[in-house]
Amino acid sequence: MDTVVAAPRVLLGRTITGPASVRVRAGRILDVVPGDPPAGAEVLAGGLLTPGLVDVQVNGAVGVDFAEVDDEGMRYVALSLPKTGVTRFLPTLITAPVPVALRQARAVLAASAALPEGSGARPLGVHLEGPFLSPKRPGVHDPALMVEPGPAEIDLLLADDLRAALRMVTLAPEQPGGLAAVRRLSEAGVLVAVGHSDATGEQTRAAAEAGARMITHLFNAQRPLGHREPGVPGVALVDDRFTLGLIADLAHVGPDVCRLVFNAAGHRVALVTDAVAAAGMPPGRYQLGGEVVVLSEDGVPRSPEGTIAGSALTLDRAVRNIVSVGVDVADALAAATITPADAIGEPTLGRLEPGAVADLVWWDDDLRPRKVWVDGEVVFDAELDLNQQFAAAR
């Protein structure tokens, strides 16, 4: 039986239009029809209907660190994320020795496979942010655990049981073996991102030639933009081959620079949270890759030494933050839907069109999620108590 959801405004691609109705059958969008709602449609009063948000860099949330996740923890994250508009997410693991990283990746994939249908947002595989990074730009990653991406290490990453699920690898292409690793991984269908890198502009461009297609958290933990040596950000902003991951908590990157990034390359920006276990939690001590991070009253997680350690950002707040600095609402929403979906090679996500997965978000006029569907089924409703929704999903 078809379900029809009608809204006064809808996001189609990168444009807001409306009114329109979205017809859903068996978890997919059958068609999108402009005009007044048909008989029997669920008519949304006001607000805006968009595709579900796609976050391709999530280290954890709601007290759960993906480096130590189990079935219950993954289930809790999956149930919690739709409240923020996220319907698909890419669990991310930070630097660890290769055997440890692979063990953690397999645990993430096992917990993802154990999720029952209708349990909320759906994981997309795994993203390894390290250990092939530059000790010169470590952030909170442990430089002692960073290694060069030799052929043997890449062989382990491309083992038969991981190849399809390894969706993204962040590495520093200027490290010995870096460009060869970019080529092998990209040829195997893995999205390679430049990050935690001291690459020059020339080396960043060489990474694109080798197949790299994304920048992990633009401006953060990378050689900075200079007026003669462009570094990673300078090349990324002008090279159309790169999708630009941006942490828009306005602490990692300031408001004016966020606006500058959208002015320069808005159609290539993918908003990410880089969220850690502290996201959605009160101030306190949490874990990131097994290490302690402290969330203070300012809402920014830091290592005990004071280095920013991921974020406590949610993707709906990232959208609101970007709108607050003067970016058009449609452009901000596209950066959290169609752009990350395309970057990760998921052409049926992040859009409202025939054949797309029926992941939907209904937003109020303040850009806060009111109702969220995954595969055509309601997984969050702001009118209901969240604990009741958790209980129903269990």
pTM, two decimals, is 0.96
Residue 86's H or E segment, with its range, is strand 86-94
Domain count, the chain: 2
Rg (the chain; Cα; Å)? 20
Known binding residues are 129, 140, 196, 217, 220-221, 228, 252, 308-310
The binding site for substrate consists of: 140, 220-221, 228, 252, 308-310
What mean pLDDT value characterizes the chain?
Answer: 95
Rounded percentage of the chain residues whose pLDDT exceeds 70 = 97
CATH number at residue 112: 3.20.20.140
List, as residue ranges, the binding site for Zn(2+): 129, 196, 217
- Average of per-residue pLDDT across 361-368: 98
Pairing label, strands 53-58, 86-94: parallel
Q: Which residues of 105-179 form beta strands (DSSP E)?
A: 122-123, 126-129, 166-171
Boundaries of domain holding 366:
3-49+356-393
CA-based nearest residue to 126, from 103, 144, 145: 103
Q: What is the pLDDT of residue 390?
A: 56
pLDDT bucket at 1, cuts 50 / 70 / 90 = confident
Question: Would you say residue 348 lies in a domain?
Answer: no
- Do residues 370 and 250 share a domain? no
**pLDDT confidence of residue 394:** 53
Q: What pLDDT score was predicted for residue 384?
A: 86
Question: pLDDT by residue (tens digit) across 180-201?
Answer: 999 999 999 999 999 999 999 9
Answer yes or no: is pLDDT of 74 > 80. Answer: yes
**Are residues 45 and 87 both part of a single domain?**
no
Assigned domain for 351 exists: no
Q: What is the mean pLDDT of residues 288-317?
A: 91
Judge whether 350 lies within some domain: no
Residue 40 shares a structural domain with residue 120? no
What band does 391 get if pLDDT is binned at 50, 70 and 90? low
Chain segment 114-154, per-residue pLDDT in tens: 999 889 999 999 999 999 999 999 999 999 999 999 999 99
Q: Show the beta-strand stretches assigned E in 131-200.
A: 166-171, 191-194
Q: Tens digits of per-residue pLDDT, 27-38?
A: 999 999 999 999
Domain shared by 115 and 35, yes or no:
no
Question: Could you tell me if 131 and 98 are in contact, meaning their C-beta atoms sit under 8 angstroms apart?
Answer: yes
Q: Are residues 298 and 244 in the same domain?
A: yes
SS3 state at 102: helix
Q: Are residues 295 and 374 in the same domain?
A: no
Sequence-separated contacts (24+) of 353-358 with Cβ below 8 Å: 353/12, 353/13, 353/29, 353/32, 354/29, 354/30, 354/31, 354/32, 355/28, 355/29, 356/28, 356/29, 356/51, 357/27, 357/28, 357/29, 358/22, 358/24, 358/27, 358/28, 358/29
User: Percentage of residues in the chain with pLDDT exceeding 90?
Assistant: 91
| Last residue in a domain, options 343, 367, 384 | 343
Give the model's pLDDT for residue 178: 98
Q: Which residues are catalytically annotated?
A: 274
